[in-house]
C-alpha cells in the first residue's frame, strides 16, 4: 500500500483499517500512513473506533503518544453488577463449589469477594483488553469440559501451559479480549508479538468463557488459546461444530479469518 504524509481522507482511513484487520504486516502499510491515520483522528469518536483494529502500527502508537486521548473512553463497562451476577449464577448452576471443595455459601462468597476486589485497568483497556470474566483456577479443565459438554480432541491430561504462563490458584476477575484483536493471525505470531502487559489465553480460560457466555461467544470468533500447548506442541482451539463446542489442536502456523487468539492481561 502506498504511503503518504498529511491527513487521510475517510476512504483512506478505512483502507488502513481494512488492511490491519485483514492481517497485512505493518511493513506493507508503512509507518507514515499509519501515523497519518492517527494524526487525522482528532475527534474522540475516531480515536475510540481505532481500538479494535488490532495489534499493528496504529494500536502500537495508541499505546504511546495517543494514550491521553484514548483514556477518557476506556472506563469500565456499564452494568457490571448484572454482568457478574450472571457469571456467578453460571458457576453455581454447575455446582462448581463441589469441585473447588468448599461449601456452597462459602464458594459464592469467594466469587463476590473477587468481584469486589477487582480494579479495572485502563492500561489493559488501551491495548484492547476490555472483556471481564471471573476465573477459578481450582476448577480442572476436565471438569469445565464436562459441564459445558465440550468434546475434546485435545488430550487435557497431556496439555500444559505455554512457558511463562501460570494458572491462578484461586478466584479472580481477568481483563481479556476474545480473539477479535488477533483474528486471522497465526498463534505463533501472536505469542511473539503480544504486548508486554498481555499473555495468551489458556484452555481453562477458553472453557470458562464458553461456560459463562455460551454458543454466541463462539459464533463471533473461534478461539485459539496460545497460552496452552497440546501434547504434540500444537495450539488448542475452541470452536463450534454441528451441535456443540469442540476443543482440538491446531498448527501454531495456521491462520484463518474465523479464528483469533484469546489474550488476557498479566
> Mean pLDDT throughout 4-15?
47
What is the model's pLDDT at position 62?
47
Angle at which helices 203-213 and 80-93 cross, to 10°? 100
Residue 9 confidence (pLDDT) above 70 = no
Type and span of the H or E element at 54: none
Type and span of the H or E element at 231: none
244-250 and 151-152 strand pairing: parallel
d(CA 66, CA 53): 15
> Mean pLDDT throughout 163-187?
94
pLDDT digits over 52-104, tens only? 444 444 554 444 434 445 555 567 777 889 999 999 999 999 999 999 999 99
What is the model's pLDDT at position 76?
78
Name the more confident of 40 and 247. 247
Number of Cβ within a 10 Å radius of residue 208: 26
d(CA 258, CA 221): 6
DSSP E strand stretches across 159-234: 160-161, 171-177, 198-200, 222-224, 228-229
Can you read off the three cell numbers belonging to residue 51?
Answer: 481500538
What is the model's pLDDT at position 71?
52
- Mean pLDDT is lowest, of 21-25, 42-46, 140-144, 216-220, for 42-46
Give per-residue burial for 41-75: e unless 16+ CB within 10 Å, then b.
Answer: beeeeebeebbbbbbbbbbebbbeebeebbeeebe
> Mean pLDDT throughout 33-60?
46
Type and span of the H or E element at 217: helix 215-220
Comparing CA positions, the residue from 227, 165, 164 lying closest to residue 191 is: 227
Residue 263 confidence (pLDDT) above 90 = yes
pLDDT digits over 90-132, tens only? 999 999 999 999 999 999 999 999 999 999 998 899 888 999 9
pLDDT digits over 225-238, tens only? 999 999 889 999 99
Amino acid at each position: 500500500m502506498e504511503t503518504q504524509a498529511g491527513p487521510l481522507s475517510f476512504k483512506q482511513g478505512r483502507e488502513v483499517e481494512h488492511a490491519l484487520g485483514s492481517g497485512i504486516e505493518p511493513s506493507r502499510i508503512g509507518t507514515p500512513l499509519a501515523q497519518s491515520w492517527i494524526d487525522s483522528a482528532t475527534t474522540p469518536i475516531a480515536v475510540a473506533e481505532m481500538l479494535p483494529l488490532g495489534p499493528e502500527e496504529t494500536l502500537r502508537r495508541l499505546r504511546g503518544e495517543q494514550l491521553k486521548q484514548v483514556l477518557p473512553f476506556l472506563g469500565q463497562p456499564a452494568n457490571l453488577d448484572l454482568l457478574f451476577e450472571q457469571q456467578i449464577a453460571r458457576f453455581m448452576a454447575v455446582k462448581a463449589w463441589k469441585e473447588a471443595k468448599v461449601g456452597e455459601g462459602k464458594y459464592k462468597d469467594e466469587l463476590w469477594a473477587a468481584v469486589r476486589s477487582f480494579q479495572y485497568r485502563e492500561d489493559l483497556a488501551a491495548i484492547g483488553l476490555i472483556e471481564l470474566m471471573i476465573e477459578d483456577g481450582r476448577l480442572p479443565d476436565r471438569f469445565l469440559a464436562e459441564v459445558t459438554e465440550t468434546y475434546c480432541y485435545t488430550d487435557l491430561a497431556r496439555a500444559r501451559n505455554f512457558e511463562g504462563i501460570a494458572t491462578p490458584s484461586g478466584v479472580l476477575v481477568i481483563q481479556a479480549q476474545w480473539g477479535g484483536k488477533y483474528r486471522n493471525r497465526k498463534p505463533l505470531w501472536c505469542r511473539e508479538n503480544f504486548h508486554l502487559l498481555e499473555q495468551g489465553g489458556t484452555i481453562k480460560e477458553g472453557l470458562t468463557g464458553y461456560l459463562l457466555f455460551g454458543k454466541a461467544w463462539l459464533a463471533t470468533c473461534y478461539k485459539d488459546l496460545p497460552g496452552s500447548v497440546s501434547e504434540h506442541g500444537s495450539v488448542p482451539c475452541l470452536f463450534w461444530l454441528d451441535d456443540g463446542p469442540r476443543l482440538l489442536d491446531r498448527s501454531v502456523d495456521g491462520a484463518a479469518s474465523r479464528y483469533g487468539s484469546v489474550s488476557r492481561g498479566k
